[in-house]
Amino acid sequence: MPINPVPIGSYLCGTGQPLLFICGPCVIESESLVLEVARRLAEIREQLGVPIVFKSSFDKANRTSYHSYRGPGLTAGLEILARVKVVTGLPLLTDVHEPQQAEPAASVCDVLQVPAFLARQTDLVYAIASATAKSGGIVNVKKPQFTAPEDIVHAVHKCEEAGNPRVLLTERGSTFGYGRLINDMTAIPTMQSFGTPVIFDATHSVQTPGGKTTGGRRHMIATLARAAVAAGCDGVFFETHPHPDQALSDGPNQLPLTELPGLIQQLLRIRQAIS
């Protein structure tokens, strides 16, 4: 059986625990930007008394265009993420696209994420779960846009077979037609029924796929986040950036960093109201 609640650094995520927040820029654009965001997130953690995990990607392999910015790569990216932990003390999450990246990433990051498009790839899921089992880390599996909530349980079983019952599942919308994602909030309790904590990704859920680059309906982030917390999610995932319109990846669906504290406070009030 999966472990619930899941320990992430000094935090616990899951049944009976505070709402967890996973936040950070989509991709590592520079060390200075990453540290700017991480320091601000650490301040928010202290000011609001909320658990925050820092998220950023060393490589965005699933870009729409070959020419899109991908990040600094594994070695340089992990060095920057390690610096974030030293400077802020925030636990780290990054995503892994290839099995051979799992062990190096697990040596630095507390949570390794299986991207939604790749969550059916058995070798990748097994490698991530095996590496995090050795390091004491956690697997965050993003439910693919094309997979029913009931079916993501098979990814959980793969993680357990690899020796890691410390699993989070993340809801990030389902494909509706060619250019729209929709969110069925019943996915949250459905996936929680597997025994896993469930995170709601409020920023990727507002993506509008299609074209040379992915668009997004940023103004809908808060609406979906509030609905997910009301539905009982265990945590919320926000990609956030000081200047989203200048971001090198997923700018249209990143939350402006200045708006994050106010939205977190709203979500905490909703969580208190349903408790």
For 270, list phi and psi in degrees, rounded to 5. -65, -45
How would DSSP label each residue in 130-198? HHHHHHT-EEEEEPPTTS-GGGGHHHHHHHHHTT---EEEEE--EE-SSS-EE--TTHHHHHHTTT--E
Residue 216 in 3-state DSSP?
strand
144 close to 114: Cβ distance less than 8 angstroms: no
- CA distances to 5, 109, 138, 226 from 8, in Å: 9, 10, 7, 24
Residue in this structure with the two tokens 């991530």, named with its chain if needed: 128
How many Cβ atoms sit within 10 Å of the Cβ of residue 230?
Answer: 15
Tell me, what's the pLDDT at 70?
80
Tell me, what's the pLDDT at 251?
74
Q: For every one of its 275 residues, what pLDDT tens digit does the chain have, with 9 covering 90 and above?
A: 899 999 999 999 999 999 999 999 999 999 999 999 999 999 999 999 999 999 999 987 765 666 667 878 999 999 999 999 999 999 999 999 999 999 999 999 999 999 999 999 999 999 999 999 999 999 999 999 999 999 999 999 999 999 999 999 999 999 887 778 889 999 999 999 999 999 999 999 887 776 555 667 889 999 999 999 999 999 999 999 999 988 887 778 889 999 999 999 999 999 999 98
What residue ranges define each of the domains in the chain, with the CATH number in brackets? 18-274 (3.20.20.70)
Cα torsion for 10, 13, 17, 18, to the nearest 10°?
A: 80
Give the burial string for 98-128 (b: 16+ CB within 10 Å, else e).
ebebbbbbbebbbbbbbbbebbbbeebbbbb
Q: Quick one: the chain helix, strand, coil %, rounded to 5?
A: 45, 20, 35
Residue in this structure with the two tokens 């999450």, named with its chain if needed: 93
pTM score, whole prediction? 0.95
Residue in this structure with the two tokens 């990051």, named with its chain if needed: 109
